[in-house]
Amino acid sequence: MNLNAHKQAIEHFLIALKQQNNERRTESIWRSLGSAINHLKRSDLEQYIVDRDLPKLLREFEID
């Protein structure tokens, strides 16, 4: 994210979340993902972050 590569950062965060299975370990990833989405000015995705709706975010960014 420090390189302003927000879309790429989002993709990496989503892949990391997809691979994690412990909610406690994912909280910082969700916060970073929300920040990256905010930088892209994608307010339409904010509710997905609040709801922790990983499947919808994966579809939005076309990640299998």
Q: How many domains does the chain have?
A: 1
Is residue 1 in some structural domain? no
Task: Report the pLDDT value the prediction gives residue 16, as an integer from 0 to 100.
Answer: 94
Q: Provide the domain limits for residue 32.
A: 6-60
Instruction: Classify residue 39: in a domain, yes or no.
Output: yes
- Per the domain annotation, does 46 fall within a domain? yes
Half-sphere exposure of 42 (CA within 13 A, CB side): 18
Decide if 25 is inside a domain. Answer: yes
**Residue 53 belongs to a domain:** yes
Residue 56 lies in a domain: yes
Asked whether 54 and 30 are in contact (CB, 8 A), the reply is no
Residue 44 vs residues 2, 4, 23, 48, 53: alpha-carbon distances, Å? 23, 20, 24, 8, 13
CA–CA gap between residue 24 and residue 21 (Å, rounded): 9
pLDDT tens by residue, 13-64: 999 999 986 666 789 999 999 999 999 999 999 999 999 999 999 999 999 8
Q: How far apart are CA 56 and CA 63, in angstroms?
A: 10
